[in-house]
Every structure is written in structure tokens, then in C-alpha cells.
A = this chain, B = another copy of it.
Amino acid sequence: MALQFEIQAQDPKTAARAGVLTTAASVIETPVFMPVGTVGSVKAMTQEMLEELDARIILGNTYHLYLRPGHDIIRQLGGLHRFMSWNRSILTDSGGFQVFSLGDLRKITEEGVVFNSHIDGSKHLLSPEKSMEIQIALGSNIVMAFDECTPYPAKYEQVRQSLQLTSRWAKRCRLAFDSMADRQWQSLFGIVQGGVHHDLRVESLEQLLAIGFDGYAIGGLSVGEEKSLMYDTTEFIAPRLPADKPRYLMGVGTPEDLIEGVARGVDMFDCVMPTRNARNGQLFTTKGRLNIKRSQFLRDQRPIDADCPCKVCSRYSRAYISHLYRAGEILASILCTYHNIYFYLDTMKRIRHSIRSGQFSEFRESMLSNLSLGEKA
């Protein structure tokens, strides 16, 4: 079977749950955070480092890999796992979010999205069938249905038409996937749209359930709406997703968002924040964020986070990392990224442990209180 999912603990006071997701490639304890490896590399990390950090699943971007090096090359070279030498799980997005982000460079029709490459301007069509073809060629363990990420803000009727297009595309994805995929390897997730409207979220979910998927994602959040709306929408829709399938909140988020998402019943997350912010010098700690660019750190011999046992905090000082950042050294990106991924994965580990030990609410309160001590973003 392509994917197994078992819930092993359920928090009594919230919708938080802990379990195990098993793909053909690896065993993944949930709730899980998936580091983003856009073009076949989690930026500034070696695969050895990701293994050392105990990442069990990473995300690849269909749009980027389709344009460069191309899915045909990757298929000929044995798939993305072999291409990048990563034998644990890979989830690929559908390419939808990236092409919609191209703005004037893309046009949406019933067939799909015609767009111009951000690299060389060449013209391409990304459709449900094409997205399946690419993701199957990449050999990802979890394939995402090609959806329209509804813009925010949008009128109610626009959101409705968008989610219905997503549902029609989801059906085509299911058909294309089933006709192509090696079911020993790969599974397909649907994406619930519907903006911040509860009834539209339900409409989207019902249409996806009628098609049937191996997991369900919540799309179209963290795209500019108020945080309270993001939490509210998640709180409404997450518990309505099938309890026996993994639930994935796409593109989210901050450490606070992760614990709030888990409390609302989410099992999977991904976000560029730990990696991208690292390259901009922003570090996540148990006491909130700190920006290594600030001159106060130039003589600070302490580690990034005195409570962090990661390899970076065990060895390097804020003063050194601050210097590396100012000098434009690649090592600054490496060390900051390593620490941030450690922090994200360790946070998820603590969350899982707290759910299993029945201490989730206490952990949530204590973590949120500590996180508020640091700098604000």
C-alpha cells in the first residue's frame, strides 16, 4: 500500500492527535513539519545534515523542478529520490501555487494554467494531467492534486467558482493519477479550498470526499488573511476532514502557527520560514526570535539558544554567526538554517511527546508564553 496512517494518541481537550504516517520510503511520526527543498535541495543543507536532523519527509516544488532540470531528466535519472540522493519521503506540491503567484505571467482556463517561465520566459501549460505526469515522473511519495489557490481577499462568488474549478481539477487529477501511478509507491492528496467561508469549505470538502483521496490538505490559507481568520478557518474545517487520513495545512507557518494548527487537528505542515528566514539572519529559539544581524550580538559569546542541544548551539557563538552574516559568508546560511530546522523539528517532537503523555495543553501554554519573550517578527 502506498500510504498507511494510524492515530495513536488523541489529546482529550483539543483536536490534537499523534500518530504514524508510513510511506514506501519512511516512517513519519505526526504531527510533522516538512522542510522545503524547492529545486531538489533544502537550501544550504546537505542531505547528510537533513538525516542528522532526523527529517523524515521533505517537500519538493513541481513548478521549479519541471522548469529546471525538467521532470524528464529526473525520471531518466531514476526519480527525485535517486537524483538528489534522499531515500526518505518526498511530498511534491502541484505547481499550482507557484504558477498563480506569477501574476501577469499566467492565464487560467478550464483546461489549466498557461504561464511563462520566470527563468527564460518560455510558454508552458500546467494542467491537472500535466501536474500528475510531472509528479509521477518525479516519483514523490505524496502527490498533491492540482488546485487553484483562491486569492485573498476575494468576493464570495469568486471563491465559490474557484473551489468548484479546484473540484473539477481534483477529479481529473484522480483519473490521471490512477491511470498512471504505480500504486506501490505514490499516494494522492486532495486540497480543500473555500477561503475563509465555512459553508464553502464544507462544499469543497464534500466534493473532494466524493472523489476520494489518501489525505486531505487545507489550501488557500496564510495568503494574507488575518491570523485569527486562519486559525478560525482551520478550527472549523480540520476536524471535519476524515479522522483516519492525514490532514495537511499547506504553507504554514510560524512556531505559534504549528502548535495552534496541531491543537485544531492538523497532522502535517510545510513552510519556507525556517530556511528562508535563516538566510536573512532570523533565528527561532525557545524564547522567541532573534535577528543575528543586530549589533548587540557582535560580542555575544552565548549560543543562539542556550536551551538548544543542536550541533550549531553546541559549538558556535552568536558573535561568530553574527560576524559571518555581516561578512556575507555561506557558513552563516548553513549554521542558521541548521539551527532553525532543528528548532522546527524539535518543536514538533515536543508537541508529539506532549500529546502522547497527555500534557499537550500545558505544553502549548508554556511554549506560547516562552515564544512571546523574544523579538517580534
Contact = CB atoms under 8 A, between A and B. Distances in A.
Contacts of A211: none
A299 B83 CA distance: 10
A315 B76 contact: no
Interface in A346-376: none
Given A40-B320, A68-B326, A334-B330, A299 B77 contact: yes
A214 B370 CA distance: 55
Contact of A324 (B40, B78, B331, B334): B40
Interface in A2-45: 39-41, 43-45
Contacts of A315: 47-48, 85
A159 B151 CA distance: 70
A227 B114 CA distance: 56
A320 B69 CA distance: 9
Given A41-B329, A327-B39, A317 B77 contact: yes
A323 interface: yes
Interface of A: 39-41, 43-48, 64, 68-69, 73, 76-78, 83-85, 298-299, 301, 311, 315-317, 319-320, 323-324, 326-327, 329-331, 333-335
Contact of A319 (B64, B68, B77): B77
A87 to B, nearest CB: 11
B323 A69 contact: yes
Contacts of A43: 329-331
A276 to B, nearest CB: 12
